């Protein structure tokens, strides 16, 4: 019983390490085969439509509601200390530093990541990738790399739009609904949000999340067993793994970026 | 390797011995497009091919038959360079796909076409774009010329009018024909068909079989057909190889195969449920499983 448990633990550990190694090699192979994605940028643009444009609705609506909730909750807390004028700062910093990149990353993993995994997995299951190989066309260059770069480019744009919509939501609730002074709301925000420390770091976070989520989604699809159950499992793993990786990376990046700030 | 058949039991099937041991092979060498000698391959510890010898001459339709899981598709994968034989040699047009680097292998594959079991059409592209795929990837032809070529290929398989349809809008037989048009888009020297008749209705079956024969003759290519549809394939093939237990069990022309007295070939050709390929998977005695054997409580 104990021996069996240890064997299982060892087996799972070896499998896990093997998969991480395989994923790293896959990531490097995608980078090496990225020439086509830039030479024929139309392929990447097409994938940006599927991963980015088709994710816009969920990103914009979620951003708006998150901003509105921030406006409500922020005002409720700040007014206890007579600091409701700082509502604009609270909403903007929360969104551009954390909520924008992280929530957009999680939504991106759920919407675009799962779609990428399912598509690549089904292409494998239906032998489309093998057919491409047999036609002397490298699937990594033709199928995977354009999707990879589309995800990496789309993610910061989506995160930025999420933050912008969130700020709009905060403005609607804080200024229009509750009655915080409009000039104070915007001027406090303008005065306290730093382009490099806050906005640029938020964009860097979203680029890293885009890299991570897209790599995981592509790898899971490419590595999926060619069965219905295999593709289903791979899609689930993409969402779960991507979400955990986004949250873990957020902590690490935050620790590096905002360490020592006030 | 099991000796295929002797001439007394099945006239003509004993040609394998003559073919592989006499000077005829040397005489035909320049006509030989695909040549597999003593190929051995296994998936992990499970051996699949245990020393296969196979030859396909230019302009021929060659069928590879055998029961499911006997290694037919593995042979195609060896020829296509997707896997490498652990022993023996595989040569296509004088080159060994398993020994080539990526560039060389891709160069060789441009001279090959492959029809997958269910077509493997790209589901995000129309029939037209599927056929145009290789032309766009491998040539610098202007779009007008590509359009003409694609319509010619689709016309050859009778689906010029379906050029605008997406794969989801095609029937199984039509998808197979579009895939065939795609496979011959670059006018390859060799086309491999993996179960081209699987799941087709009788009309589509006949259409597909005739297309394979007609395209082979008119384009002067070589066709390797992996199938277990005996009746349909025997109508169109020049030569047949039977694979069983990892070796070529028998070979010959369609007429020779029909006349074969070999138990395995006879069972296969006539679709008998029991014979050298048993109906029952190996198991303990039936009575034991039912608890009726000796010593059962």
- Rounded Cα distance between B109 and B251, Å, is 27
Contacts of A29 in chain B (CB under 8 A): none
At A90-112, the pLDDT tens digits run 999 999 999 999 999 999 999 99
**How many CB atoms neighbour CB A99 within 10 A?**
22
Specify the long-range contacts of residues A80-86, CB closer than 8 Å, at least 24 apart.
A84/A180, A85/A180, A85/A181, A85/A184, A85/A185, A85/A188, A86/A188
Q: What confidence score (pLDDT) does residue B295 get?
A: 56
The complex scores an ipTM of 0.80
Q: How far is A235 from chain B (nearest CA, A)?
A: 19
Contact criterion met (CB below 8 Å) for A171 and A66 = no
- Rounded Cα distance between B248 and B127, Å, is 37
Q: What confidence score (pLDDT) does residue B67 get?
A: 79
* Partner A, chain B 134-163, Cβ-Cβ below 8 Å: 134, 137-138
- Nearest by Cα to B249 from B235, B236, B263: B263
**How many CB atoms neighbour CB A196 within 10 A?**
7
Contact criterion met (CB below 8 Å) for A122 and A219 = no
Better pLDDT: A207 or A261: A207
- Per domain, the residue ranges of chain A are 33-257
Q: What is the 3-state secondary structure (H, E, C) of A50-119?
A: HHCHHHHHHHHHHHHHHHHHHHHHHHHHHHHHCCHHHHHHHHHHHHHHHHHHHHHHHHHHHHHHHHHHHH
Q: Which residue of B has its CA nearest to A141?
A: B137
- Rounded Cα distance between B90 and B108, Å, is 13
| Pairing outcome for strands B46-57 and B87-92 | unpaired
* Partner B, chain A 114-153, Cβ-Cβ below 8 Å: 122-123, 126-128, 130-131, 133-138, 142
Q: How far is A215 from chain B (nearest CA, A)?
A: 22
At A42-66, the pLDDT tens digits run 999 999 999 999 999 999 999 999 9
- Rounded Cα distance between B55 and B15, Å, is 12
Contacts of B116 in chain A (CB under 8 A): 127, 130-131
- Rounded Cα distance between A189 and A194, Å, is 9
Maximum C-alpha span of chain B? 81
Q: Please, what are the averages of pLDDT over each run of 10 residues along chain B (297 residues)?
A: 37 38 46 90 85 90 86 90 90 90 91 89 94 93 94 91 94 89 91 87 85 89 89 88 86 86 80 75 84 65
Out of A131, A136, A138, closest to residue B120 by CB: A131
Out of A128, A130, A134, closest to residue B122 by CB: A128
A59: left (phi over 0), alpha (psi -120 to 50) or beta: alpha
Q: Judge whether residue A169 has pLDDT over 90.
A: yes
A127: left (phi over 0), alpha (psi -120 to 50) or beta: left
Contact criterion met (CB below 8 Å) for B29 and B218 = no
Q: pLDDT averaged over chain A?
A: 94
First-last CA distance in chain B: 46
Partners of B244 in the β-ladder: B247
Q: How far is B192 from chain A (nearest CA, A)?
A: 10
């Amino acid at each position: 019983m104990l021996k069996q448990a240890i064997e299982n633990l060892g087996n799972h550990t070896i499998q896990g390490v093997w998969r991480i190694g395989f994923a790293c090699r896959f990531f490097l192979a995608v980078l090496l085969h990225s020439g086509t994605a830039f030479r024929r940028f139309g392929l990447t643009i097409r994938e940006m439509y599927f991963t980015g444009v088709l994710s816009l609705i969920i990103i914009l609506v979620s951003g708006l509601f998150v901003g509105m909730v921030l406006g409500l909750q922020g005002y409720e807390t700040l007014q206890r200390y007579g600091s409701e004028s700082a509502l604009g700062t609270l909403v903007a910093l929360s969104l551009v530093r954390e909520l924008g990149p992280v929530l957009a990353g999680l939504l991106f993993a759920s919407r675009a990541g799962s779609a990428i995994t399912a598509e690549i997995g089904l292409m494998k299951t239906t032998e489309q990738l093998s057919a491409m190989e047999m036609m002397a066309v490298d699937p990594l260059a033709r199928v995977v790399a354009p999707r990879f770069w589309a995800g990496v480019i789309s993610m910061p744009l989506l995160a930025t739009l999420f933050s912008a919509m969130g700020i709009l939501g905060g403005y609607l609730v804080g200024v229009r609904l509750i009655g915080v002074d409009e000039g104070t709301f915007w001027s406090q925000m303008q005065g306290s949000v730093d382009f490099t420390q806050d906005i640029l770091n938020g964009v860097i976070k979203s680029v890293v999340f885009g890299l991570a989520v897209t790599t995981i989604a592509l790898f899971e699809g490419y590595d999926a067993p060619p069965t219905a159950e295999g593709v289903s499992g791979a899609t689930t793993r993409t969402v779960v793994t991507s979400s955990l990786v986004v949250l873990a990376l957020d902590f690490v990046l935050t620790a590096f970026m905002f360490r020592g700030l006030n | 390797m099991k000796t295929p058949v002797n001439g007394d039991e099945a006239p003509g099937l004993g040609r394998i011995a003559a073919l592989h041991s006499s000077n005829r092979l040397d005489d035909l060498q320049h006509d030989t497009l695909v040549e597999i000698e003593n190929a051995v391959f296994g998936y992990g510890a499970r051996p699949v091919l245990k020393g296969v010898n196979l030859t396909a001459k230019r302009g021929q339709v060659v069928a590879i038959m055998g029961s499911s899981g006997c290694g037919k598709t593995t042979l195609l994968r060896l020829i296509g360079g997707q896997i490498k034989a652990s022993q023996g040699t595989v040569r296509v047009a004088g080159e060994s796909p398993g020994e080539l680097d990526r560039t060389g292998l891709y160069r060789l594959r441009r001279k090959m076409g492959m029809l997958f079991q269910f077509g493997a059409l790209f589901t995000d592209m129309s029939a037209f774009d599927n056929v145009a795929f290789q032309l766009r990837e491998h040539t610098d032809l202007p779009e007008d010329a590509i359009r003409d070529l694609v319509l010619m290929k689709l016309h050859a398989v009778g689906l010029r009018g379906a050029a605008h349809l997406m794969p989801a809008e095609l029937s199984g037989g039509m998808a197979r024909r579009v895939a065939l048009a795609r496979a011959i888009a670059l006018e390859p020297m060799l086309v491999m068909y993996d179960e081209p008749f699987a799941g087709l209705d009788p009309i589509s079956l006949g259409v597909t079989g005739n297309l394979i024969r007609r395209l082979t003759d008119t384009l002067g290519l070589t066709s390797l057909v992996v199938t277990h549809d005996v009746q349909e394939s025997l109508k169109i093939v020049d030569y047949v190889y039977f694979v069983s237990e990892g070796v070529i069990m028998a070979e010959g022309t369609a007429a020779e195969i029909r006349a074969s007295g070999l138990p395995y070939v006879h069972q296969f050709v006539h679709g008998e449920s029991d014979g050298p390929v048993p109906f029952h998977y190996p198991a303990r005695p039936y009575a034991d499983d039912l608890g009726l054997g000796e010593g059962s409580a």
